[in-house]
Structure 1
Amino acid sequence: MKRVDVLVVGGGIAGVGIAQFAAAAGYSVALIERQRIGEATSGNSSKLIHGGLRYLETMQLDLVRKSLKERRALLQLAPSLVTAVPFYFPVYRNSRRGALTIRAGLSLYGLLSEFDALGRFKTLSKSQWSRLQGLNSAGLETVFQYWDAQTDDRLLCEAVAHSAILLGTDVFEWAEVEHIQHSGDGCQVSFTQQGQQHDIQAGVVINACGPWVNQLLERVTPTVSALEIDWVQGAHLLLDIPPVDGVLYLESPIDQRVVFVMPWYGKTLVGTTETRLTHLDNKPAVTEAEKRYLLALYAHYFPDAGKVDELEKKVTDTFCGVRVLPRSGGDAFHAPRDTLMHTCRSHPRLLSLYGGKLTTFRSSAAEVLDWVRAQLGDRAAIADVDKLPLTRPVNRDDFMAQTG
């Protein structure tokens, strides 16, 4: 039977980040993913590495500070995958967030970035508004420009997994965990891959299954408690429309939520939504209501592009991810976005992750690594993750050749 110190279940950005950090710290690591690496929510995000300007509204200052720090790190570690881009925040006469509020928020954003060069912002003159081709100018009073970053989330996920593999991690794609037998000194994990049954003895197991976190806990013996959660779907539309040179931070005229309009491989990407789900399918799909909501927003801000029915003909792709949020009766848009680590005294060798953000996957991995050290003791580190460049494999076939 194969034995490892750390077994990670889930090959999204959280799981591959944990695998990389643990392997660099000298632990033997395996990772099991039931589909492809980065196939689910981590490959269907809004493609942004950002501090979360809107989180200032709910005073999640620690999360914003942490996100801005991680943005700076990823720009340095993955320059071919994470790129600084201009963000534009137009303020209209009837905007709920006025110019003074936005200016104050951007000033705090810059302060929390610890005076990073990307923390600077400015107000565009009216003569510069033309760079936002087609943006509705009726009632437009002010346009702020600040900086954040964009990434190809799936490629970034593969790059982190690639780094973990080079550090010795065994990765098993298209593998399904059937059962986890927990004991005081570790866990025995049974899984299937391509019809073959396998068993791994692990010192600790990290449940990084994202929206399916509680489904994995149902396969643990003895029975373990789970947290109550909400599934919140975020939908995106890709329009066959030339994009603006930068990301637009827009207030929905319907419910005042924030929606992004951004460039994506020569087309325009619009997202996201906050739709609570009552059940979770293996392949979440954009609903008709979500599509109409996003198209209505785009038609409102870019009236020359056509009405909703005309814009629908320009939709070339749709995708959505599902976030895990703590169960609450409140508005999903204002719910906390930080990662929650959950353990039980009865199961000291099992850790489950709830929630989290693409931007902060490294800080979450560092917190998990602290927990691993507390359970297993230190190992002799083999690499410094803060100095490891993140580059994707030359092609997918090369990546697949490295996995189990």
Structure 2
Amino acid sequence: MSTDFDVLVVGAGILGAGTAEALAQANHSVVILEQLGIAAATSSRSSKLIHGGLRYLESGQFRLVYECLRERSWLLDNKPQLVRMVPFYIPVYRNSKRSPWMVRLGLSLYALLSGIRSVDSRFRSLPKSEWDTLPGLKREDLLAVFRYYDAQTDDAALTRDVVASAIAHGAQIICPGSLVGAEVTEDGVRIDYVADGKLNTLHTRALVNCSGPWVATTNTRCSPPVSLPPIDLVAGTHILLPLSLGNKIFYVEASDGRAVFVMPWQDKTLVGTTERPYCGDPRDVAPTVEEKSYLLRTVQQYFTQTRGLQPEDICESFAGLRVLPEVEKSPFARSRESMICCDNELKPRILAVAGGKLTSYRATARKLARKLQATLEDEPPAPRGAAETSNATSPSERERNL
């Protein structure tokens, strides 16, 4: 059997983009199948941060934080046009859930895990003489303000950049295109998909399901499907407010103890995020009135210049979906680790990844590539070719898609 591609990657969010890039860089022939557009869903609706996840230390996710801090360092060095360091400020009040000593302990551990003796690992308690530099921050019952550094990015631009890198290394993209079915055969995987209103077929050695909130739906179209762990879709909303707080990002505590970011974005202020279970078509996820009110109340609790804002003053709001493990305990404690499942541990043909973080997309892609190593090295290199009825992009089409 002649194989059209080594691997089909379903989904052009950050995980699909990173996986295609890693495999293409290893000289495997790769095609990405994307139904909506590059970074059209969760990968354009995040908090726009490249960070270790300071709050994940509370739930003991040390390995995840360490991994993300390593990846942050690489992204700062290799994508400075897209990822930059920004000062973060944590105000601690008399009634805050986390006391000054708890915050100091967390920041000390965060700095230790970063392993870098530079500006991105240092933190300090801001003296009262410098509190005037924090625009409009409420002073009543303020006990301490801590400053540390993390990174910010344009999530959609980063995803497009990674897709462009994958294509530069030989990957192709079918967009828009929808998976109809995938069947493991004796020689590989037969894939049926729809593009341009036509049913097409191609053959690969493996399929990687990186379809984000559609991961379970895509899995049901694979034969055999992989065994996914129990998962939930969790919606997170952000709001954009018509004011600027300068170049500072604030890490504040909502009334329920949840950490909320208040950050500069496009000369305005982005506030997020929330967590609520979501059922339904991922295309239909949208902010609720309650979520927008929750975020507005949270920011008004801390900044005087936001006190007069009404819900109708919100410039924009958006909601994205996280794929998280199903748990009965507090949703704040859910693991953010990527969950990788496959049909055969020794020689996988179908792989699916659920969850994961924007910051650690490269680490997840490397894990997927290692899982596929036996499958891809067991046979001679497949010819780079097109599908039986090909909709893979030409160079000029790639430019239009990006």
Whether the TM-score (by the shorter chain) exceeds 0.5 is yes
Alpha-carbon shift at residue 116 of structure 1 (Å): 4.1
Q: Which runs of 5+ in 2 are unaligned?
A: 382-394
Q: 1:114 & 1:163 partners in 2: Cα distance?
A: 29
Alpha-carbon shift at residue 223 of structure 1 (Å): 5.0
Query: Does the 8 A contact of 1:182 with 1:221 survive in 2?
Result: yes
- 208-217 vs 126-135, which moves further: 126-135
- 321-330 vs 41-50, which moves further: 321-330
Q: 1:239 & 1:95 partners in 2: Cα distance?
A: 24
C-alpha change, 1:240 and 1:371, in structure 2 (3 Å) is same
Alpha-carbon shift at residue 184 of structure 1 (Å): 3.9
Aligned to 2:318: 319
Q: 1:376 & 1:125 partners in 2: Cα distance?
A: 57
- RMSD of Structure 2 on Structure 1 (CA): 2.1
C-alpha change, 1:403 and 1:296, in structure 2 (3 Å) is closer
Aligned to 1:332: 331
> Deviation string for 1:45-100 (max 9, x for gaps)?
00000010001101111111100000000011110000100000111111110110
Aligned to 1:106: 107
Secondary structure of the 1:74 match is helix
Aligned to 1:389: none
> Deviation string for 1:113-157 (max 9, x for gaps)?
012411100111112112220111111110000000000000000
- 236-245 vs 61-70, which moves further: 236-245
C-alpha change, 1:179 and 1:34, in structure 2 (3 Å) is same
Query: Does the 8 A contact of 2:71 with 2:363 survive in 1?
Result: yes
Is 1:130 matched with 2:128? no
Query: Does the 8 A contact of 1:31 with 1:170 survive in 2?
Result: yes
C-alpha change, 1:223 and 1:369, in structure 2 (3 Å) is closer
Q: 1:186 & 1:380 partners in 2: Cα distance?
A: 13
2:399 maps to which of 386, 398, 401: 401
Query: Does the 8 A contact of 1:25 with 1:379 survive in 2?
Result: no
C-alpha change, 1:399 and 1:91, in structure 2 (3 Å) is farther
The aligned amino acid for 2:197 is: G
Q: 1:400 & 1:330 partners in 2: Cα distance?
A: 45
Aligned to 1:238: 240
Aligned to 2:291: 290
Aligned to 2:385: none
C-alpha change, 1:285 and 1:156, in structure 2 (3 Å) is same
Q: TM-score, normalised by structure 1?
A: 0.91
The equivalences for 1:1-400 within 5 A come to 3-117=4-118, 118-222=120-224, 224-252=226-254, 254-307=255-308, 310-345=309-344, 348-377=348-377, 400=398
Alpha-carbon shift at residue 306 of structure 1 (Å): 2.1
Secondary structure of the 1:313 match is helix
The aligned amino acid for 2:5 is: V
The aligned amino acid for 1:51 is: G
C-alpha change, 1:275 and 1:402, in structure 2 (3 Å) is same
The aligned amino acid for 1:286 is: P
The aligned amino acid for 1:87 is: F
Query: Does the 8 A contact of 2:285 with 2:320 survive in 1?
Result: yes
Query: Does the 8 A contact of 1:232 with 1:332 survive in 2?
Result: no
Q: Which runs of 5+ in 1 are unaligned?
A: 382-396
The aligned amino acid for 1:154 is: A
- 39-48 vs 123-132, which moves further: 123-132
Q: 2:369 & 2:78 partners in 1: Cα distance?
A: 20
Q: 1:146 & 1:243 partners in 2: Cα distance?
A: 17
Query: Does the 8 A contact of 2:225 with 2:343 survive in 1?
Result: no
Secondary structure of the 2:87 match is strand
Q: 1:149 & 1:30 partners in 2: Cα distance?
A: 31
Query: Does the 8 A contact of 1:27 with 1:379 survive in 2?
Result: no
Alpha-carbon shift at residue 374 of structure 1 (Å): 2.1
Secondary structure of the 1:189 match is strand
Aligned to 1:387: none
Alpha-carbon shift at residue 401 of structure 1 (Å): 3.0
Q: 1:237 & 1:358 partners in 2: Cα distance?
A: 19
